[in-house]
Amino acid sequence: MNLQSVKTLYLAEMARSLRTLLQSVISPVISTSLYFVVFGAAIGTRISEVDGVSYGAFIVPGLIMLMLLTQSVSNASFGIFFPRFSGSVYEILSAPMSYVEVVIGYVGAAASKSMLLGLIVLLTARLFVPYSIEHPLMMLVFLVLTAVTFSLLGFIIGIWADGFEKLQLVPLLVITPLTFLGGTFYSIDMLPPFWQTVTLANPVVYLVSGFRWSFYGISDVSPLVSLLMILLFLSVALAVLSWIFKSGYRLKP
């Protein structure tokens, strides 16, 4: 493992994010507060409790997931798309680094940043509602696995995209709707039976459910199923990436 190269790439990517530090930190704080005002205060007065947890506390894990998914995808996709777009990717591709090392640098940085933002959301939520974390270790496991998996997805999108439109299309048309429909703001028990079944096809359901379980011990699907699903997504992302590198798709003619 060429640690020096990986470290350099990772730190440069982190530095790129930190150049816009203020905006990176302020926007999740503001959006989280807005969600609490709108969902917590407005809806929370009607739905007082879900499975014995106050509605405000109930949506905290979902909000963190929302932040984690969107940020992982957008950071990682931009991270690799931009050098491709500007042409400076030649340097990465001609460096004495393996593909695995390149991915660790980019995806590691994207995942780190989104986890950091996830934690900021967690802290911001504290201003609005008290919550507890029943399984802190599992909470971290879900956090890391989700951030890494979706950063890999973002990295793949950043290689696939051949323009800014495509780069924004996937987060906008896929990630955001799936997150909103994935039980972020409700328990899927609240849906009619037909929609409960349909919802199970949404991968985000498993992420949110498992993550919420690590907070309150309540879940829509078993936490073990959630964990297995995340590992499945991770394997799929890794398989796609390894195909990309083997075939040279969009990187090496």
The type of residue at 18 is L
Work out which of 43, 82, 119, 218 binds other proteins, going by CB under 8 A: 82
Work out which of 87, 130, 192, 193 binds other proteins, going by CB under 8 A: 87
Q: Does 47 bind other proteins (CB under 8 A)?
A: no
Instruction: Report how far residue 58's alpha carbon sits from residue 52's, in angstroms, rounded to the nearest whole number.
Output: 9
Q: Does 46 bind other proteins (CB under 8 A)?
A: no
Q: Does 48 bind other proteins (CB under 8 A)?
A: no
Work out which of 95, 119, 129, 191 binds other proteins, going by CB under 8 A: 95
Q: Judged by CB, which is closer to other proteins: 45, or 86? A: 86
Beta strand spans in 7-48 (E): none
Smallest distance, Å, CB 90 to other proteins? 5
CB 62 within 8 A of CB 208: yes
Nearest to 210 by CA among 223, 200, 229: 223
Smallest distance, Å, CB 76 to other proteins? 17
Max intra-chain CA distance, the chain: 59
The type of residue at 109 is A
**Beta strand pairing call for 53-54 and 49-50:** antiparallel
Q: Judged by CB, which is closer to other proteins: 93, or 141? A: 93
Smallest distance, Å, CB 9 to other proteins? 6
Residues 119 to 158: which contact other proteins by CB under 8 A? none
Q: Given the rule CB under 8 A, which residues bind other proteins? A: 2, 4-5, 7-9, 12, 15-16, 19, 82-83, 86-88, 90-98, 248, 252-253
